Amino acid sequence: MSKRTPGLPQRPRGFWPTPREAVVPLIPYLPPRARYGEPCAGDGALIRHLRDLWPAGRCVWASDLEPQGPGIETMAVADIKAADDVDLWLTNVPWPVTGGKGDPALSIIKHLIGIAPAWVLLPWDFAANGYFGRLIGQCSDIVPIGRVSWLGNGTPGKDNAAWYRFDAQNRFPAVVRARS
């Protein structure tokens, strides 16, 4: 999860359920109503938080390479070819790995925005890396969320995070949104 905490337990495929506190700052920036997909749904934590915090949104797609909860289809992001019923993606992708040049996150984002715009939870410093240059033109918004408790014990993690909105049709530079 973090480059600053090598003692954190390793989890298969870097699976870290999305904490509720990471979702709260995003809610004001979501459209009033939308059908969304969660292609890295894990155990469905993000979907549950969105259901509670954004009742006008409706999850119409939930998949993961290795689902950890009920109602989540087994599917790799790369196998998603189209999703006509999805207005946007909302997801906590696997974060970039050291030496991976932005992957797996970068490849997932590039694939998803070929289908629909995407809000993606990533490390804050994702935007400070050279590989972000391959997506900066498609990034319209960044919502910083600070440090959250990934272990669910109330102790914040060591890395700041942010929600990034990517849209293949974007024609304007990214705007960093103030955290409320």
79-132 pLDDT tens trace: 999 888 999 999 999 999 888 899 999 999 999 999 999 999 999 999 999 999
Task: Identify which of 73, 132, 128, 84 has the alpha carbon closest to the alpha carbon of residue 105.
Answer: 132
Residues 6+ apart with CB under 8 A from 122: 93, 95, 96, 105, 161, 162, 163, 164
Identify which has the larger pLDDT, 11 or 30.
Answer: 30
Question: How many Cβ atoms from other residues are within 10 Å of residue 146's Cβ?
Answer: 15
| CA separation for the pair 170, 149 (Å, rounded) | 32
- Which pLDDT score, from 0 to 100, does residue 2 have? 44
- What is the per-residue pLDDT across 148-179, written as a single tens digit (0 to 9) for each? 988 878 888 888 999 999 999 988 777 787 66
CA distances from 57 to 22, 30, 50, 88, 113 (A): 17, 9, 7, 10, 19
Q: Of all helices (H) and strands (E), which one includes residue 132?
A: none
Element (H, E) at 49: helix 45-53
What is the band of 10 on the pLDDT scale with cuts at 50, 70, 90? low
Cα separation of 85 and 37, whole Å? 9
* Sheet strand arrangement including 175-176: 73-74, 57-64, 34-38, 88-91, 118-123, 161-166, 139-146, 175-176
Computed over every residue of the chain, the mean pLDDT equals 89
Strands in the chain per DSSP E: 34-38, 57-64, 73-74, 88-91, 118-123, 139-146, 161-166, 175-176
Summarize the chain as % helix, strand, coil (round to 5): 25, 25, 50
What confidence tier does 3 reach under pLDDT thresholds 50, 70, 90? very low
